[in-house]
Amino acid sequence: MAFRNKSILVVGAGIAGIQASLDLAEMGANVHLIEQTPSIGGRMAQLDKTFPTNDCSLCILSPKMSECARHPGITLHINSSLLSIDGEPGNFTCRIRKSATYVDPDKCVACGLCEERCPTKITDEFDMGQRTRKAIYRYFLQSVPSNYVIDAEHCLRLTKGVCGLCERACTAEAINFEDTDKEIDIDCGAVILATGIDSFDPIVYGQYGYKEFPNVVTSLEFERMLCASGPQMGHVVCPANDKPPKNIAFIQCVGSRDRENGRNYCSSVCCMYAIKEAIIAKEHIKGLNATIFFMDVRAFGKEFDKYYERAEEQFGVEFVRSRVAKITELPGGDLRLHFARQDGGRDTRDFSLVVLSVGLQPRKGMSEFAESIDVKLNEYGFCRTVDYRPQDTSRPGVFVCGAISGPKDIPESVMAASAAVARAARFLGLERQKKVSKKEFPPERNVIGDRPRIGAFICHCGINIAGVVDVPAVVEYAKSLENVEHAEDLLYACSQDCMETIKRRVKEHNLNRVLVAACTPRTHEPLFRETLREVGLNQYLFEMANIRDQCSWAHMNEPELATEKAKELVEMGVAKARQLTPLQKLPVDIDPKALVIGGGLAGMTAALALADAGYRVFLVEKEDELGGNLRSV
């Protein structure tokens, strides 16, 4: 086989692109991850919760974003786009355009002084137009990287040659108005496309009054309204009067299963996210009535049907099988739905707020993008894939994951990302490296025998914690505990800014133990442990108190008792932190063998991928031949 470059280009840094990059980097590959926007995270960063667990979206995503930015095997290219792919499979040359940000990322400390001085206000696209941002801005609060960028189309200095207040305000001298777009070439062996999707614009459905009636919003606009870091800080209100709605209607299949508009496919996620949004809205507003107008509920994923039943039986979400014909506005801003019932009769219902559950569609400019890189699209404009190889495109060496090949939810996108990695690894003959490039850390301080000096950091987690727990009161209580040298509250402890804050406080107060009271250690503990290593502390001098899952979520209707419990959890964490001692990891040899049980299509595919990665594989099948149900197709 001819030489094949072992570097891989991943295009798009949503959850699928992030997962693919992390998997590849852990195998020892050199990964280039490009993202068109100023931050990685994609659509998932705009969501409040995920179904069917109602986990905080950013609580899952933020650790992966930070890990992606920190990994020595991943090179991030932000504000960048793929222009072309030249060469042969295994030896591609990819032309990348890096758009000017006008802010030096090596100098910017994300202090925000420039944003304060900027006089220009622009509609914020991340918040779906529900609030404004400045011409110099951060994409969102927890963005990675956390640097500011300048919007060249709206900056007064770049468009009219006036102003420049941000440059004068920047003490780090990071502003560079002479910055220009650049084109670079990246050599790689394979490309993974993870550019994602757009949500359908319901403006073409004039009968629903979108953009005409203020209280008609899309599902993504409603998602930002629900989000703790969103424009309403998690408070659900009617845009017409900023008052909480008494009842909400969700209209399904807006831009999906519609032959007249060329979208006769199911978007696969709308049923479940509408159910999720109805549940979360009812949690936010006591006594709220939520009604979902639907054709069919497609709850096909793991635990989805139980989630649907729980919404109806436990939370009291009403489901009406119907088709909504039109919406009219009543005096005062309320809305009247005119719909056809299942029995063919006509009916009307009045609501304070209407949410249009919009479908998913290919990204804007997808046709031109596909043509520039020579991959084919299907009849709906999504990337065409190969039968029985759903990660392979029409061009050898170019693979896909996530919703670029068709609508997918988050779990399916993550699975597709790992599948694309397996395909790319097999294509390049990439075996897991015994010595994966590792990050360099400073020498550890010797704290054995030192008096415990504990730093306690209490996280708001937007309103996930602070909406129930009195966080400032918990901070004051933590300050009173023995051996606590410093205590403070953080808006999002897992954000890049706050982790830098923790490192600064460790140095400023000579801390030798750290307690973070936030959400679950299942997802966040490795992130904070690595933060300690970056500042010269042993990673096992860290303790975590879960005041979200075990407190604010469990006792959301008892804020005073939840606050007292949070204090107790913090006190318990401090008591344990006092006893922590440095520990060391010892390497253990692992026998490089794998057991795959089941010889159907999935089992055979997994066995081949593992074998190609250099592992000896044992494939066990109870029947007398392989193939499983595939033999009956």
3-class secondary structure per residue, 296-307: CCCCCCCCHHHH
| 144, 67: one domain | no
pLDDT grade for 197, boundaries at 50, 70 and 90: very high
- The answer to whether 566 and 476 are in contact (CB under 8 A) is no
Mean pLDDT of all residues in 175-188: 96
- The answer to whether 586 and 613 are in contact (CB under 8 A) is no
**Amino acid 408: pLDDT:** 95
Structural domain harbouring 125: 113-169
- Say if strands 31-35 and 8-11 run parallel, antiparallel, or are unpaired: parallel
| 311, 268: one domain | yes
Q: Is 517 left (phi over 0), alpha (psi -120 to 50) or beta?
A: beta
Distance CA 13, CA 74 (A): 12
- Residue 587 domain flag: no
- Residue 442 domain flag: no
- Say if strands 74-78 and 31-35 run parallel, antiparallel, or are unpaired: parallel
Tens-digit pLDDT profile for residues 148-176: 999 999 999 999 999 999 999 999 999 99
| 257, 356: one domain | yes
Position 624, amino acid: D
pLDDT grade for 432, boundaries at 50, 70 and 90: low
Q: Helix (H, G, I), strand (E, B), or coil: what is residue 206?
A: helix
Mean pLDDT of all residues in 536-548: 95
- Residue 337 domain flag: yes
- Residue 584 domain flag: no
| 335, 222: one domain | yes
| 488, 536: one domain | yes
| 563, 618: one domain | no
| 75, 149: one domain | no
| 473, 520: one domain | yes
Mean pLDDT of all residues in 309-325: 96
- Say if strands 360-362 and 197-199 run parallel, antiparallel, or are unpaired: antiparallel
Of 343, 361, 379, the domain-final residue: 361
**pLDDT at residue 97 greater than cutoff 80:** yes
Number of structural domains found in the chain: 5
| 409, 534: one domain | no
Distance CA 18, CA 464 (A): 25
Mean pLDDT of all residues in 404-422: 95
Q: Which of 456, 580, 458, 574 is nearest to 519 (CA)?
A: 458
- The answer to whether 289 and 248 are in contact (CB under 8 A) is yes
- Residue 443 domain flag: no
| 206, 164: one domain | no
Counting residues of the chain whose pLDDT is more than 70, the rounded percentage is: 98
- Helix, strand, coil in percent for the chain, rounding step 5: 30, 25, 45
pLDDT grade for 523, boundaries at 50, 70 and 90: confident
- The answer to whether 245 and 238 are in contact (CB under 8 A) is yes
The two tokens of residue 146 are: 């956390």
Residue with the larger pLDDT of the pair 375 and 430: 375
Tens-digit pLDDT profile for residues 345-358: 999 999 999 999 99
For the chain, what is the mean pLDDT? 93
Q: Helix (H, G, I), strand (E, B), or coil: what is residue 489?
A: strand
**Amino acid 56: pLDDT:** 86
Distance CA 561, CA 21 (A): 43
Distance CA 93, CA 301 (A): 39
Tens-digit pLDDT profile for residues 559-616: 999 999 999 999 999 999 999 999 998 888 888 899 999 999 999 999 998 998 888 9
Position 153, amino acid: E
- The answer to whether 388 and 3 are in contact (CB under 8 A) is no
**pLDDT at residue 3 greater than cutoff 80:** no
- Residue 436 domain flag: no
Mean pLDDT of all residues in 209-219: 96
CA atoms within 13 A on the CB side of 403: 24
**pLDDT at residue 410 greater than cutoff 90:** yes
- Residue 567 domain flag: yes
Highest-scoring range by mean pLDDT, 7-21, 134-148, 485-499 = 7-21
**pLDDT at residue 435 greater than cutoff 60:** no
> How many Cβ atoms from other residues are within 10 Å of residue 474's Cβ?
28
- Residue 176 domain flag: no
The two tokens of residue 486 are: 């410093």
Q: Cα–Cα distances in Å, from 585 out to 71, 91, 538, 588?
A: 19, 39, 11, 9
**pLDDT at residue 1 greater than cutoff 60:** no
**pLDDT at residue 103 greater than cutoff 80:** yes
Mean pLDDT of all residues in 513-539: 93
**Residue 409: CATH number of its domain:** 3.50.50.60
| 405, 488: one domain | no
| 488, 545: one domain | yes
